[in-house]
Structure formats: C-alpha cells, structure tokens
C-alpha cells in the first residue's frame, strides 16, 4: 500500500518567487524547492507547509509505511486557471505511480478547494494544515498588518471591494449634495462636503491599490513613449487621422438636424458627406506612412499605393451609391442621379486599373525572379 503525501501551492508562490515549476515528485526535489523558497522569502507559509509535509513524510517512513511525496503548483490567478493547471499536474503525478491513498498537507483552507480534484483520482486519508505561529505582541501585529497590506492576494480580496464601496458611495453622496446645493433646495454644511471628500479619497486610494492603476498607467505611458520614438511620424499620423475623423463628425452632424429633409434622406446625405471625412482620415494616415517610409530609407513598397487607390475607389462607389439611392427614393432630381452614376463609373474604373497594374507588376516581378533563378 503506497501513500502519497501531497502538498499543494494553489496560488503558485513557488513559481512566482523561486521560479519552480510543478509537479515535483520525490523527497530530494521537494526539499530543494522548500529550501529555495524559504531562502527567497523566509516568511512564506507555503515553504513552511512543504517543510511540514517533508517532516510528515519522514514520520510515516520511520513507522515503516510505504510513502511518496509530491508538490503541485497552480497559478497566481487563483480560481479556474489555477485549478486547471493543478488538475493537469495531478494527472502527471498519478500517472507515474499507483497510490492507494493520499494525505493532503497545505498552509490553509484555500488549498482545500482542490480536494474534489484529488478525490477523483484517489481517496484522501486525512488533511493536515500547517499553521505558522507568530508572536502576537503589538509590535509584531503592526508589522504583519503593514506586511499584509503589500500582499497582492490580500489586496485583491479586501482592498478592491472596500475601495469600490467607498468610492461609489462617496461619489453618489457628493453628486446628490452638490445638485441640491446648486439648485438651492438645501444648504449643505462644509463638514458634510469634507466627510464625503474623505470617503471618496479613501475609496480612490483602496481602488488604486487593488487594481494597481498607477503601475498600469505608467506602463501605458511608457508604451506610448516607446511607440512614438519608434514610429516617428506615424505617431503624429494617428493623431491627425483621429482629429480629421472627429472634425468630420462635428461637421457632418448638423446635417441631421439643420437641413430641411425627410428623415431617411437626411441620414443618407449625412453618410455621403461623412464618408468623405473618413476617406480623408485614411488618406492622411497613408500619406504619413509614405513619408515615414521615405524617411526610413525604404521607398520600394507599393502596398500603400494600392491601399490608397482601392480606398479611393471604395469612396467613389459609396458616395455614388448613396447619391443614386437618394434618387431612387425620389429625394433628388435626375441631374444628381447622373452625377452619382458618373462617380460610380469612376470608382469601378479606378478599381479595375489598380487591379490590372497590381497583377501586371506581380507577374513581372515573378518573371524576373524566375529568370534570376535560371541564370543562377
């Protein structure tokens, strides 16, 4: 009868702090992992739990029992992801040997969530928790409170709910108080404003700590800085394109309300005008890209030429089809319909010419490459 002494690190402290990947099977591997983690973080409870499992293993072995020991690790994203990883590692552990039962040893109740995963593979003789004892005087209590405020797992479980509750409550109260005060319905005392602002500040602090917004914002700003340095004028092109797009919206939007038209005709006319602004934004970005290519010393790419040509063809077709659709619905006269047909013909012609040039150039390049290989 072979018994497995199993230690589970559900939140993967071994991997995060010591770069240890589970599963580990055998006394020597588990002992090395425990020493490595306790050296990296002497206060980590997972290291103590594994040492406890090793001691339990030695005790069972001294009584003459046939035992083995294994460490299984999960992921810092505790939940479905960590348990899926643990399930795969358990398959590996139980595929290497046939265990009649298992003794689960962990550092707390959180690891007990994986008990159903173990029971689906073998029976559990018992569960043992390794609880680390601390000196509970005021100084050590303060130290552990401060230390736990830096624990990411504790922050996610406590700081985020508290922060969101305080922030939502504070913003809601501040909004109502300000509204009633500005409308003259009630006169609010300054102390209420001060108290509400303190609640909002605390909520914002806890929320920022929980989601680590400062680090994420710093990363975003660094990425933007790196992108702007690498992309040169392309960074400016994005800003210009977005600006043209927004100007197009603001310039075309009054059509929906100020022009005296039927509702459907107004929408079609808005789409006609707005499509010109969209095309302008696309072309401006392409032109900046061409400038960037020439500045970078690589002016051989024809991709942008084809992109501009086909987008121009698409713009002519959209503009013309919208115009002819307005004629079909009797919103405009025949002259505008004729203009729309001409624009559609131009769009088709540009598309055909661009496609022919692209095909001919591709054939020419392919023939040139074939001739070069033949000569070689």
For the stretch 98-118, pLDDT in tens is 888 999 998 775 667 888 899
Asked if 8 and 90 sit in the same domain, the reply is yes
- The tokens for 275 are 């499509």
Q: What is the pLDDT of residue 44?
A: 82
Residues 6+ apart with CB under 8 A from 313: 347, 348, 350, 351, 354
Q: What is the pLDDT of residue 188?
A: 66
If you search the block for the tokens 């103590």, which residue do you land on? 48
Asked if 200 and 333 sit in the same domain, the reply is no
Question: Which residue positions in the chain have pLDDT lower than 50?
Answer: 135-140, 142-143, 365, 367, 370-374
How far, in Å, CA of 347 to CA of 320, rounded? Answer: 9
Asked if 302 and 368 sit in the same domain, the reply is yes
Q: Contact at 8 Å (CB) between 114 and 43?
A: no
- The verdict on residue 318 lying in a domain is yes
Beta bridge partners, 25, equal 70
Asked if 245 and 173 sit in the same domain, the reply is no
Asked if 241 and 369 sit in the same domain, the reply is yes
- The verdict on residue 220 lying in a domain is no
Give me the sign of the Cα torsion angle 276, 282, 288, 293.
Answer: negative
How far, in Å, CA of 50 to CA of 33, rounded? Answer: 9
- The verdict on residue 158 lying in a domain is yes
Q: What is the pLDDT of residue 139?
A: 42
Q: Strand 123-129 and strand 101-106: pairing?
A: parallel
* 3-state SS class at 376: coil
* 3-state SS class at 51: helix
Asked if 44 and 118 sit in the same domain, the reply is yes
- The verdict on residue 146 lying in a domain is yes
Asked if 366 and 268 sit in the same domain, the reply is yes
Asked if 60 and 184 sit in the same domain, the reply is no
User: Where does a domain end: 180, 211, 242?
Assistant: 211
Asked if 125 and 175 sit in the same domain, the reply is no
Asked if 113 and 207 sit in the same domain, the reply is no
Give the orientation angle of helix 213-231 with respect to helix 190-211, to 10 degrees: 60
- For the stretch 260-265, contacts whose Cβ atoms lie closer than 8 Å and that sit 24 or more positions apart, written own/partner, are 261/331, 262/331, 264/329, 264/331, 265/326, 265/329, 265/331
- The verdict on residue 226 lying in a domain is no
Q: What is the pLDDT of residue 370?
A: 45
- The verdict on residue 219 lying in a domain is no
**Cβ atoms within 10 Å, residue 287:** 15
pLDDT digit string, tens, across residues 78-91:
888 888 999 999 99
- CA distances 77 to 48, 72, 89, Å, are 22, 15, 16
Asked if 116 and 147 sit in the same domain, the reply is no
Asked if 205 and 339 sit in the same domain, the reply is no
C-alpha angle 312/332/348, rounded to 5°? 25
- The verdict on residue 223 lying in a domain is no
- The tokens for 58 are 């030695």
Q: Which domain holds residue 198?
A: 138-211
Burial class (CB in 10 A: 0-12, 13-18, 19+), 99: buried
User: Where does a domain end: 129, 163, 179?
Assistant: 129
Strands of the sheet containing 2-9, edge to edge, are 24-25, 66-73, 2-9, 101-106, 123-129
Domain count, the chain: 3
Cα-to-chain-centroid distance, residue 55: 42
Give the orientation angle of helix 303-328 with respect to helix 263-295, to 10 degrees: 170
Q: What is the pLDDT of residue 77?
A: 80
User: Where does a domain end: 211, 243, 258?
Assistant: 211
């Amino acid at each position: 009868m072979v018994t497995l002494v199993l230690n589970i690190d559900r939140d993967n402290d071994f991997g995060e702090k010591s770069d240890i990947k589970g599963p580990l099977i055998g006394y020597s591997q588990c002992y090395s992992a425990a020493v490595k983690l306790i050296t990296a973080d002497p206060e980590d409870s997972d290291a103590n739990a594994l040492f406890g499992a090793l001691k339990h293993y030695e005790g069972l072995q001294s009584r003459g029992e046939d035992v083995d020991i294994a460490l299984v690790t999960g992921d810092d994203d505790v939940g479905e992801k960590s348990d899926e990883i643990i399930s795969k590692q358990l398959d590996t552990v139980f595929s290497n040997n046939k265990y009649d039962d298992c003794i689960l040893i962990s550092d707390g109740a959180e690891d007990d969530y994986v008990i159903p995963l173990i029971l689906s593979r073998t029976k559990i003789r018992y569960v043992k928790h390794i609880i680390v004892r601390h000196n509970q005087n005021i100084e050590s209590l303060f130290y552990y409170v401060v230390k736990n405020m830096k624990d990411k797992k504790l922050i996610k479980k406590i700081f985020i709910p508290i922060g969101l509750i305080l922030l939502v409550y504070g913003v809601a109260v501040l909004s109502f108080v300000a509204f009633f005060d500005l409308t003259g319905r009630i006169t609010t005392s300054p102390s209420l404003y001060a108290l509400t602002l303190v609640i909002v500040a605390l909520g914002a602090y806890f929320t920022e700590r929980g989601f680590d917004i400062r680090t994420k914002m710093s990363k975003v700003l660094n990425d933007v800085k790196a992108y702007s340095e690498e992309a040169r004028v392309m960074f400016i092109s994005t800003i210009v394109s977005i600006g043209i797009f927004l100007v197009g919206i603001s310039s075309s939007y009054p059509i929906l309300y100020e022009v005296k038209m039927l509702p459907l005709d107004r929408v079609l006319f808005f789409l006609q005008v707005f499509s010109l602004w969209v095309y302008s934004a696309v072309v401006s970005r392409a032109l900046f890209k061409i400038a960037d290519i020439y500045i970078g010393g690589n002016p051989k790419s024809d991709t942008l030429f084809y992109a501009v040509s086909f987008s121009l063809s698409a713009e002519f077709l959209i503009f013309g089809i919208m115009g002819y659709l307005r004629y079909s619905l009797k919103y405009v006269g025949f002259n505008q319909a004729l203009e729309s047909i001409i624009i559609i013909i131009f769009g088709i012609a540009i598309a055909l010419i661009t496609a022919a040039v692209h095909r001919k150039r591709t054939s020419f390049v392919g023939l040139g490459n074939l001739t070069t290989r033949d000569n070689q």
